[in-house]
Chains A and B, each alone.
Chain A
Amino acid sequence: MPAGVWPMTEQTVQRPGERLFLWFLLAFSVFILIAALKIPHLENLSSSGAFPIFIASIMISTTVRILWQNRKRYAASTLREECRQVHAFAFPGNVVGYALILFLYILTTTPLHFLPSSFGLLVVSFIFLKGASPLRSMVIAGGTLAGIYVLFQTIFKVILW
């Protein structure tokens, strides 16, 4: 059995930015707990807010537990070092660039409507991800969109915007 394939092995992988992400999750969980406490009519254990409070408490306790369990590993590197490494780990060029392309798509999809904005998304994505040359990208994007349009309009009855 190759090492590390069984489930429930102790975490040994160093993931830059994990500590920051966990702190973010903890803050989010606390925010959720506060929001749950604000749900009106919290007069008994079966009211609207009782279960959300229970769930938010679980989220907080599990996040705290993960932070506590891995405290020594996290302490091995300073926050500054971690911030330096997190870029290559979680925000490589491909991911950031593609997220930006998707963001642009979101901005343009309503004013431009489905076909032009999606054609643009596919062409730019193919070129950016080095899937094909610009000309080939346009041909593939056109073919793909034509296929998608016919398939979804006729078989799946999806009315595209």
Chain B
Amino acid sequence: MGTSLQYFLMPIVDIKLLFLTAVGTFCGIYVGAIPGLSVTMAVSILISFTFSWEVDPALALMIGIYTGGVYGGSRSAVLLNIPGAPAAVATGFDGYPLAKLGEAGKAVGLSTTASVIGGVLGVVAFATAAPIISEYSLMFAPRDYFLLAIMGLLLVGSLSGESLAKGVFTGALGVLLSMVGMDTFTGQGRFTFGSIGLMTGIHYVAIMIGIFGVSEAFVQLHDLDVKPIKQDVTKIIPSWRLLSQHMYLIIKCALIGIGVGALPGTGGDIAALLAYGHARRSVKKPTRPFGEGAYEGVIAPETANNAAIGGAFIPMLTLGIPGDAVTAVLIGALFIHGLKPGPMLMIETPHLFWYSTGCMLLANVFLLILGLSGIKLFAKIVEVRKGLLLPIIIMISVIGTYAINNSIYDVYWMLGFGIFGYFLKMYGFQTGPVILGVILGPLMETGYRQAMADQHNRLVGFISQLLVNPLSLVLTLSMVFMILGQTQFWAKVRGRFRQSHGSAQEEL
């Protein structure tokens, strides 16, 4: 217990770590707030620079950026009506109308405090649930990891875009990219096309930076001249009475955020939308109608998206399965530092769990301080011309990619993926599943091949194992329902059920 507390307090008592968490949170807020710059982009670029560091300072910086970035998007959503990040889309529905009513300060204050409360509740859930799940996850067989990885890809595919098929395609593409190079089981080269350079594979950081950094910069080139409308911001700190009135909603939305964040592949954006929908349904007497500046419409999504951070860390550290795109990138960062997130992480490097918990809590404290201040600086930074910002992002992406192996070829790959990612985005494909696929691919393939080898390569034996084992059965059924839920057949069944339910109620 004493050692755990020591690890937990490490980022607080060590000045360097304290400073890095603060810097990370500060940068995260601004990266998240600037439309076009995403947290995933920032963290993936950062990995390549911090890989020569010790794992603790690197993690402090990245957790700070993650926490600040998820919140940062809400500021531009409220003040400029441009969500800085997907997780802040729902915040703008009521945040911007509030700003137009002259309550921009109140909206920023509410979103900050709701984010912090949600974030802290997420950390508490992480600290409580992770050790239990970690112990339980030791019982997971390879086939269960295979199923979990598929579920993660299906979830992110189905929830994060306009089409399940597009989501599954990009997820599969990510898995394919993870297979380029030497097969770790047999040493056989795959998709190398005779190139010795490809035997070591394509570095996932080059893929990440290309897909998230460069492609987004290209998309942003479409609207270089969009000028934000500034709002007057005063009276930022919300009253205790207002917060206590909405505490029940905050707790419910935090639970939604934690739950959604903990699901493999889903993150703050989905959590925020679901929480907003929940608030609309459950709050009978909102302060104003939803969509016209209801406080509840700001509180609900902001609580949920920051609570999802703690939730997303649960599968990341205990199962090695990313909760969302940022945690996928963070898993990549831990790999670079020689650590392997998963059930053995808590046993082999127990300090990392309590240390991460401490960092997350500390980042939320900084979020409260920095979130309630610096609005004027915010306005200046967000107004930097894209024509200046985008080339600098490209430049940093190039340096970051080069730094991985001191290889210019990685830079070529990165730029290539950047252009490919641009087309994916333009044609409605989500790019998040690509990264999840890259990270989950090896886990999925190893799980599949080990499970198949256990059954002496008999398909019937493999399938029966999915149905006989209780845990595997639950996962298999969940997966089947997820696929069924996307079909027209399911939509018809649901429609008929609603129709019959409606007519039965009318008869009553």
Contacts and interface: CB of A to CB of B under 8 A. Distances in A.
A62 B168 contact: yes
Nearest to B389: A131
Interface in B361-418: 385-392, 394-396, 398-399, 402-403, 406, 408, 411-412, 415
Contacts of A122: 391-392, 395
B160 interface: yes
A104 interface: no
B176 A56 contact: yes
Contacts of A110: 408
B159 interface: yes
Given A1-B280, A129-B224, A52 B179 contact: yes
A6 B90 CA distance: 10
Nearest to B153: A58
A47 B186 CA distance: 8
A118 B402 CA distance: 13
Nearest to A68: B165
B238 interface: no
B402 A158 contact: yes
Given A35-B191, A95-B218, A161-B408, A44 B457 contact: yes
A62 B169 contact: yes
Interface in A13-27: 13, 15, 17-18, 21-22, 25
A140 to B, nearest CB: 7
> Binding site of A, secondary structure by majority: helix, strand, loop or mixed?
helix
Contacts of B273: 5-7
Contacts of A44: 452, 457
B49 A158 contact: yes
A66 interface: yes
A132 B388 contact: yes
B52 A157 contact: yes
Interface residues of A, number: 70
Contacts of B93: 1-2, 5
A50 B52 CA distance: 37
A119 B109 CA distance: 41
B186 A160 contact: no
Interface in A89-112: 89-90, 92, 94-95, 98-99, 102, 106, 109-110
B232 interface: no
A112 to B, nearest CB: 12
Given A55-B172, A94-B221, A152 B426 contact: no
A8 B387 contact: no
A130 interface: yes
A92 B176 contact: no
Contacts of B161: 7
> Binding site of B, secondary structure by majority: helix, strand, loop or mixed?
helix
B428 A11 contact: yes
A62 B158 contact: no
A156 B49 contact: yes
Nearest to B167: A62
B399 A158 contact: yes
A126 B388 contact: yes
Contacts of A9: 162
A122 B393 CA distance: 10
Contacts of A56: 176
Nearest to B187: A48
A129 B390 contact: yes
Nearest to B457: A44
A41 B457 CA distance: 14
Interface residue range, chain B: 35 or more
B140 interface: no
B288 to A, nearest CB: 15
Interface in B153-198: 158-166, 168-169, 172-173, 175-176, 179, 183, 185-186, 188, 190-191, 193
A95 B220 CA distance: 9
Considering residues A55, A94, A106, which has the most beta carbons from chain B within 10 angstroms of its beta carbon?
A: A55
B428 A13 contact: yes
Contacts of B50: 156
A98 B221 contact: yes
A53 B193 CA distance: 16
Nearest to A9: B162
Contacts of B193: 35
A38 B427 CA distance: 31
Nearest to B193: A35
Considering residues A32, A35, A39, A131, which has the most beta carbons from chain B within 10 angstroms of its beta carbon?
A: A131
B191 A52 contact: yes
A15 B427 contact: yes
B188 A59 contact: no
B391 A8 contact: no
A118 B161 CA distance: 36
Given A130-B387, A132-B387, A94 B222 contact: yes
A126 B390 CA distance: 9
B387 A131 contact: yes
Interface in B287-316: 290-291
A140 B191 contact: no
Contact of B188 (A18, A41, A62, A131): A41
Contact of B423 (A21, A47, A126): A21
B57 to A, nearest CB: 11
A8 B222 CA distance: 25
7 contacts: A52-B191, A55-B175, A58-B169, A65-B165, A90-B423, A106-B411, A144-B395
The 9 closest A-B pairs by CB, nearest first: A131-B387, A129-B387, A125-B391, A131-B388, A156-B49, A44-B457, A46-B452, A62-B169, A158-B403
Given A125-B391, A148-B395, 11 more contacts: A5-B93, A39-B190, A49-B190, A55-B179, A94-B224, A106-B411, A106-B412, A121-B391, A125-B390, A130-B385, A161-B408
Interface of A: 1-2, 5-11, 13, 15, 17-18, 21-22, 25, 32, 35-36, 39-41, 44-52, 55-56, 58-59, 62-63, 65-66, 69, 89-90, 92, 94-95, 98-99, 102, 106, 109-110, 118, 121-122, 125-126, 129-132, 140, 144, 148, 152, 156-161
